[in-house]
Amino acid sequence: MPRVAPGQRKLRRVKCDETKPSCHACISTGRKCDGYTPNVEAPPDLPLSRPLSLEFLGTQSERRSFYFFQQKTAPQLSSFFGDDVWERLILQAALHEYSIRHAILALGSLHAKFEQDNGLIKQNYTNEYADKFALENYGQAINMLVTSLSEQGRPAIDVCLICCILFACLETMRSSYGSAITHVQSGMKILSEVKYDEKTRCYQHDVLVASKLPYVSIEVLKEMFMRVDHRVTQMVSGENWETPDSEQQYVPKPETSAIFSTLSNVSASLVTQWQMSSYSITDTGNPPGRGVPAALDIDPWQKKSRSILARWSSAYDVYLNIRGDNLTNEKRKGTAGLRILKELGSVATMLTQPIVDDETSWDVFCPIFQNVVSLAEDIVELDSEVSAERSPFCINMAVVGPLFQIACRCRDPIIRRRAIAILRTCGRIEGTWNAFSASQVAQRILDIEETGLQNVRSCMDVPSWARISNASPVFDPLERKATLTYSQARTKHGLTRRTMVDVIEW
């Protein structure tokens, strides 16, 4: 029996010279390089753009921005969870989709400028980029997406969602948080409109196409948006925020695994199930993070969330027992970040609110708040040890959102000031959270509550009438200021409260 099929030649094996992304030995002879993980082919039911060479034969600026994104931006967007989405799948999508490619070029260019300026890059206050190359590619990415909708037929769901995430990252890096949130909302709206047909085992959308072979699966994209949504809804609130109606519109997934294989699995499991439990309780008013419902209404959510947290904690402990001794600094930061989520999650499941606006109900959680602040200090310290050149920008939440919540709700003067001090000095930007901006709002809340009080040595020294509630900051996308809306007692020792608005500038 012949070892080579008739009519075919046997290619001589060529040793891979390990040049990335494809070895020169293979390229020069027209061979397919087998030395690396094969690229995912573009979906057959979509009109393909001209394939992009792995060597990325564009202009010098394009090559520089693309490789910066590949080497610096993608790993940082993955953060300490090591998401394969950023470091492989989205890069592969850029080889075929012009909209994603131009978004990557814009983000890579802007991120390079961001690092060059030590994280202080700002758009000019005339609402224009300092980076013209980034602006041009950002505009081209949007135009390509719109063109595919109007001329080339319906674009794919995954392509639109990937672009929403990339656009949100762009706007976040240029400190335009309002626009970043708008892009996240657009993605969440698309997800809320996606339906899964169990009979055909296909996704459906009224306008967009669900590819049979998406670059990134709808389930993974849903988890990505859930993570971002988890951050955004701590910073803003809005009546028109789109959320998935239930888990049934996606492929049914099993409950929390008894053992996690990666830290990314640990994170995705907690955040996704936590968010979905909030969305699926339809008879409880607003879930935590979107306003605290009345005491009687919170019980169904608490019951379900306690069960989720208990199952997740058991699996998380098993993961640490197996891998805890071999964790890198990045993974150690990841585990610390997840412990922060676990601690604050336990607060949410235990919190009862028998009296409306009773801010003293937070006092019992001071030990937990202290643990969270210590974990945040560990993360910031590990960050400083990794590299002095590392940009403080990432899409995943670690410390900024939790520290801001503690600075607002913990009235212990020492814990509170430690939280604000970390925010003021760490220089981190996590998703739509800017640590320094958050510190300015937190400091104003502290000043409002402690004005006129003498010798504040513990949370008991801040009386109920002095405490503010329902604090809701809106950060200006163009200027260094925020508008803080909150409630406070009308008079000293008064029971009725009034809504106040304060503009904070720095």
- Per-residue pLDDT, 44: 37
C-alpha distance from residue 299 to each of 278, 283, 296, 329 (Å):
12, 11, 6, 39
- Write down the pLDDT at residue 40: 37
Mean pLDDT of 1-10: 43
What 3-state class would DSSP assign to 472? strand
Q: Residue 251 — left, alpha, or beta (φ > 0 → left; ψ -120 to 50 → alpha)?
A: beta
The b-or-e profile of 43-54 (16+ CB within 10 A means b, else e) is beebeebeebeb
pLDDT, position 138 = 96
Q: What is the pLDDT of residue 362?
A: 92
Band of pLDDT at residue 152, cut at 50, 70 and 90? low
Min mean pLDDT across 8-12, 162-166, 260-264, 463-467 is at: 8-12
Burial class (CB in 10 A: 0-12, 13-18, 19+), 38: exposed
Q: What is the mean pLDDT of residues 123-140?
A: 71
d(Cα 450, Cα 255) in Å, to the nearest integer? 45
Q: Assign 32 to helix, strand or coil.
A: coil
Q: What is the arithmetic mean of pLDDT over 220-235?
A: 67
CA distance 351 to 366: 13
Look at residue 8 in the predicted model and tell me its pLDDT. 42
Average pLDDT over residues 364-370: 95
What pLDDT, on the 0 to 100 scale, is given for residue 421? 97
pLDDT, greater one: 279 or 331: 331
Label residue 491 exposed, middle or buried (CB < 10 Å: 0-12, 13-18, 19+): exposed
Mean pLDDT of all residues in 421-428: 91
Q: Is the pLDDT of residue 151 over 90?
A: no
Q: What's the rounded mean pLDDT across residues 164-179? A: 83
Place of tokens 């508008």: 483
Phi, psi of 426 (to 5 degrees): -75, -20
What does the pLDDT look like over 187-197, one tens digit per residue?
Answer: 989 998 999 88
pLDDT on residue 414: 97
Contacts by residues 85-93 (CB-CB < 8 Å, ≥ 24 positions apart): 85/216, 85/220, 85/224, 88/37, 89/40, 89/215, 89/216, 90/162, 90/166, 90/215, 90/216, 92/39, 92/40, 92/215, 93/158, 93/159, 93/162, 93/215, 93/216
Q: For residue 27, what pLDDT band results from cuts at 50, 70 and 90?
A: very low
Please say if the pLDDT value at position 234 is more than 70.
no
pTM, to two decimals: 0.67
pLDDT at 126: 41
SS3 204: strand
Distance CA 216, CA 160 (A): 11
Q: What is the dihedral of CA 108, 109, 112, 113, to 10 degrees?
A: -140
With cut-offs at 50, 70 and 90, classify the pLDDT of residue 182.
confident
Quick one: pLDDT band at residue 147, thresholds 50, 70, 90? confident
Mean pLDDT of 303-325: 75
Torsion, CA 453, CA 457, CA 459, CA 460, rounded to 10: -70
pLDDT at 390 over 70: no
pLDDT given for residue 352 in this prediction: 65
For residue 265, count CB atoms less than 10 angstroms from its CB and return exposed for 0-12, middle for 13-18, buried for 19 or more.
middle
Confidence of residue 148 (pLDDT cuts 50, 70, 90): confident
Is 406's pLDDT higher than 60? yes
* Mean pLDDT within 499-506: 94
Lowest mean pLDDT among 52-61, 104-113, 185-194: 52-61
- Across the range 156-179, mean pLDDT stands at 87
Quickly count: other Cβ atoms within 10 Å of residue 247's Cβ: 17
Predicted confidence (pLDDT) at residue 368 exceeds the cutoff of 70: yes
- What pLDDT sits at residue 356? 52
- Contact residues for 124 (Cβ-Cβ < 8 A; gap 6+): 130
Of 188-197, 427-436, 449-458, which gets the smallest average pLDDT?
Answer: 427-436
Nearest CA to 242 out of 252, 232, 251, 250 is that of: 232
The yes-or-no verdict on residue 62 having pLDDT over 70 is yes
Question: Given the structure tokens 């206050």, which residue do they identify?
Answer: 125
Distance CA 135, CA 363 (A): 47
Mean pLDDT of 171-177: 77
- Note the pLDDT tens digit of each residue in 30-58: 445 555 444 433 333 333 334 444 455 67
How far apart CA 64 and CA 58 sit, in angstroms, is 9
Average pLDDT over residues 74-83: 67
133-172 per-residue burial string, b: 16 or more CB within 10 A, e: under 16: bbbbbbebbbebbeebeeeeeebbbbbbbbbbbbbbbbbb
pLDDT digits (tens, 9 = 90+) for 268-308: 555 555 554 444 333 333 444 444 334 434 567 677 777 77
Query: Using 50, 70 and 90 to split pLDDT, how confident is the model at 430?
Result: confident
Which pLDDT value is given to residue 391? 52
Query: With 80 as the cut, is the pLDDT of residue 404 above it?
Result: yes
How many DSSP H helices and E strands does the chain contain?
17, 8
